[in-house]
A and B are shown apart, each in its own frame.
Chain A
């Protein structure tokens, strides 16, 4: 459970205080209060502690944090959209999560102010804009990219998200928490386990409930299995972009084998309906454990063979090396998480930094080049560590129950975290009475990682677009919630 260090802060001093603390801004959001005086809440990771900065807002505005702390840029736009509270001095305060009356219309960069990042909007003969999405060629999630180009070089690429906003946070508060975990699973359907875990960790912290040892081991197995198929998916996509049909087919087959295993073990190919507050709904008996063990042994052998060939295929490496570079400074400034941050040399992993479910010690994969290849290398290393973690978890399945009863809520607010394949996933829950929730704020890894999408196109060409996008491994569904 995450221990929070609570501090009060003045709205005028928030930016300075955050800058003084340093550390990584995890969340920034507004909590409603019955009296009508809203409260601004910043969750910050500083050294070994997690800080909760509480700011009482007197009026409908406060001095923006973004000019000093770029990581706040989307959070503050979201606050502006949802609460009509104005972060004064924000460099680009236009709608983010709420789509205007022209719903779904293609918005051209004339209407977007592009001074963000200091880049001027290009004009002149031959410069044009490719509005790509929200209905994209191929089977993709809804998102829009506005690519400014003179023909080959990408001058600027702006991302537009939140076409898929389904109101998950409110839905979670409407239903009993035993059912709300099902909503959390469907925020980002390919990270169901991570979302269910982060949500459950928050509930367990609220009720101060210990999860049985056996449940922790089962959760580790499920979470790492999910990481495996997401990392393989990223590999499939990159092979597809490089037109390596055989590689694509073989990695896709490897991914399919993992989903079949998931279906056999958990009754759902995306491991839904098994992680619940207090533990897990499955017991993972010896037969199931053996099935996982033996399937993954064969799987690992085949994975290694195909991967070895891929890493010797020049036409693949050529497209990824030095493509879509993200500097370590940008990754830190914008508080990126997951393989995107680790590929740029940032040392962070929720499993180690905010320990949960008895993960114990393990090495965090890291690369320093910051390009698409580095992000893929991080994933390849994590496939190895996930397999190792699953083996260890299967070996430590303690006898006993896999689920504890959730008692009355003891705390009035708690933070839950889990490391999805895309990075840190957070749920902030506030309780109202012994068993009901009054407020939920969730932050998927893709919400922060999408924020840097327009910063990885320096000196890139149009044909790199797909490689860059898929190396970031983003989930529009998770971002939009």
Chain B
């Protein structure tokens, strides 16, 4: 044991200072696509929408593109397919929002009409989190578990996991909600005391994303009222921290996936 003690003490600090200090993602990180809805040439649109597996990028009948970041898996195929510069990849870590409308740009988007929601209430200081997997791919769970590693150490922010829903403030749901998991999800939610917050973690939990089979309900909000959406495939630990802090009203939500270009109208 003394050997572990010495090893533990000997280590330098690696913990991020997020959210006080911004955590920069590595260059070339593919978090989600960004769209400049006003600068799309007709030539691009069809090709780009055709390579989008989860239908995050869609083409309306009037020929306008629409990008839904709550469906985007960040594969980058649309950017590869585009010849113009109206699409680009976002490498940012902070992607969470309080409504899906806030994550849509382009045709029919109402992002401007939706004002940011304040969740502050009683959760500003500390949150106890109960996690439920409703059909994830298994990587989100590992990213959530990574919040306890020395690099993120979420307990320094007053965030804790709890084994029982009776002690939980936050229901953290991963996966697109498969039919067999609908009832356990509901029961877990019902066992939680009020007030409570539901957080959908991961693109498939936000929208169902690439999963369209009848076995899948298609997003947590088909079953429960979702307060915070954390897109990402899988969401990175910082993205999860951002979403959980947003649930406590301690940070700003992400901006819509709009590509701002210099000189663009």
Contact = CB atoms under 8 A, between A and B. Distances in A.
Nearest to A314: B1
B227 to A, nearest CB: 20
Contacts of B7: 246, 250, 305-306, 309
Nearest to A100: B180
B47 to A, nearest CB: 13
Contact of A253 (B149, B175, B215, B236): B149
Contacts, number: 188
Contacts of B136: 141, 164, 189, 477
A423 interface: no
Contacts of B182: 103-104
Contact of B151 (A141, A192, A253): A253
B179 A189 contact: no
Contacts of A175: 53
A142 B144 CA distance: 15
- With most chain A CB atoms within 10 A of its CB, the pick from B51, B137, B149, B212 is B137
B213 A166 contact: yes
A142 B150 contact: no
A362 interface: no
Interface in B26-41: 26-30
B53 A183 contact: yes
A48 B137 CA distance: 34
A interface, size bucket: 35 or more
- With most chain A CB atoms within 10 A of its CB, the pick from B134, B142, B143 is B142
Contact of B138 (A135, A312, A475): A475
A134 B30 contact: no
B192 interface: no
A183 B210 contact: yes
A186 B146 CA distance: 19
B252 interface: no
B163 A137 contact: yes
Interface string B198-242: 000000100000111111100000000000000001101000000
Interface string A84-104: 000000000000000100011
Interface string A130-148: 0000110111111000000
Interface residues of B, number: 66
B76 A189 contact: no
A447 interface: no
A44 to B, nearest CB: 29
B145 to A, nearest CB: 5
Contacts of A219: none
Given A189-B136, A244-B4, A263-B26, A167 B181 contact: no
A263 B24 CA distance: 12
A179 B175 CA distance: 20
Interface string B136-164: 11111111111011110000000001011
Nearest to B54: A182
Contacts of A137: 163-164
B183 interface: yes
Interface string A203-245: 0000000000000000000000000000001000000000010
A241 B163 CA distance: 15
A319 interface: no
A162 B181 CA distance: 10
A401 B25 CA distance: 28
A270 B163 contact: no
B30 A189 contact: no
Interface string A307-335: 00100110100000000000000000000
Contacts of B144: 139
Contacts of A478: 138
B76 A165 contact: no
A137 B166 CA distance: 12
Interface in A256-284: 256, 259-260, 263-264, 267-270, 272-273
Contacts of B28: 264, 267
Contacts of A99: 179-180
A394 B53 CA distance: 32
Given A163-B180, A253-B151, A309 B163 contact: no
Contacts of A174: 212
A171 interface: yes
B92 interface: no
B205 to A, nearest CB: 12
A392 interface: no
Interface string B173-190: 001101111111000100
A141 B133 contact: yes
A170 interface: yes
Contact of B142 (A183, A233, A253, A315): A233
A449 interface: no
Given A246-B5, A267-B28, A253 B14 contact: yes
Contact of B148 (A140, A189, A252): A252
B248 interface: no
Given A103-B183, A167-B212, A183-B53, 19 more contacts: A134-B184, A135-B188, A139-B145, A139-B161, A170-B213, A171-B211, A189-B136, A249-B8, A250-B8, A252-B149, A264-B26, A264-B27, A264-B28, A267-B29, A268-B30, A268-B74, A273-B77, A313-B3, A480-B135
21 contacts: A103-B180, A135-B184, A141-B133, A164-B175, A167-B216, A182-B53, A189-B140, A190-B137, A250-B150, A253-B151, A255-B149, A256-B151, A263-B25, A267-B28, A270-B139, A270-B234, A272-B73, A272-B233, A273-B74, A273-B77, A475-B138
The 4 closest A-B pairs by CB, nearest first: A167-B213, A189-B137, A189-B139, A252-B149
